[in-house]
Amino acid sequence: RIRKITLDGTVTTFSGTALLHSPTAVAIDPDGNVIVADCGNNKIRKVEAALTPPITAALPPQLSSAYTAQMDAMLEDPTFADVTFDVSGTCITAHRAVLGARSEYFRTMLTSGFKEQQDGKISIADTTPGAFRTLLRYLYTDELKFADEEVLNVMRLAHMMQLTRVYNFVTRHCHCNISVHNATQWLVQADQYGMDALRAVALRFLARNFRQVRREARETLRVLQDHPALMMEVMLAAL
């Protein structure tokens, strides 16, 4: 049975011939009919009830956000910047408040008299300006975009800066994009910089596809000549 109870307590039973079995939900359509989810019979039932259709209010328009564009512009505009980084000879400006709020690495750096600071600039070694800008932009906008040629630099820098979310994202990216042409180089760099997740991915790929690597990208294996222990590990894994 389907019953309607008004605000004053009046009860009305709607008649009909349908035998409902385990109804799970009801709704009123725009024509005032009752729609019933008759779960036990695997049917949707419609009962003509002449009810007052529900009033549907339009949702307020969603405000468009200019946050990302504005934060991008803020990063590129040195007017209010109060910290300068020297990355391989390239000066990159930023804002202490943003960096300190978004990164424990930068908070520690900027509040402890970082030893690498010289002439008012903080030197960032062993990375590229492109990778550093990528991570700054992530801190400003919460968006991560990087060129393929920067993937290892971004991953290495994220590892150093303890940006776990970025590091895990780039690791998954590498897992999906590893190939016979980049696996060996990725393995060497992952081993060199302690990036264990990427190291495991690259080693497993080489072990499973070593013959294909030798056939299609033999020249990439030459880098292992400078890493005999790693070469032995690859050979044993490929057996």
Ranges in the chain annotated CATH 3.30.710.10: 67-175
Distance CA 130, CA 57 (A): 49
**CA pair distance 39, 22, nearest whole angstrom:** 6
More confident residue, 174 or 42: 174
- Ranges in the chain annotated CATH 1.25.40: 178-239
**CA dist 12 to 2, 6, 36, 148, Å?**
8, 8, 17, 68
Question: Treating both helix axes as pointing N-terminal to C-terminal, what angle do 196-216 and 164-177 enclose, rounded to 10 degrees?
Answer: 20
Number of H helices, E strands in the chain: 9, 9
Q: Is the dihedral of CA 209, 212, 214, 217 positive or negative?
A: negative
The CATH class of the 178-239 domain is mainly alpha
| DSSP string computed for 157-177 | HHHHTT-HHHHHHHHHHHHHH
∠ CA 174-125-86, nearest 5°, is 115
Confidence of residue 61 (pLDDT cuts 50, 70, 90): confident
Q: How far apart are CA 91 and CA 203, in angstroms?
A: 37
Q: What is the CATH number of domain 67-175?
A: 3.30.710.10
Provide the pLDDT for residue 229.
94
Percent of the chain at pLDDT above 90? 64
For residue 120, give the DSSP letter.
Answer: T
Query: Does the pLDDT of residue 6 top 80, yes or no?
Result: no
Whose CA is closest to 54, among 24, 32, 25?
Answer: 32
Q: pLDDT tens across 164-200, in order?
A: 999 999 999 999 999 999 999 999 999 999 999 999 9
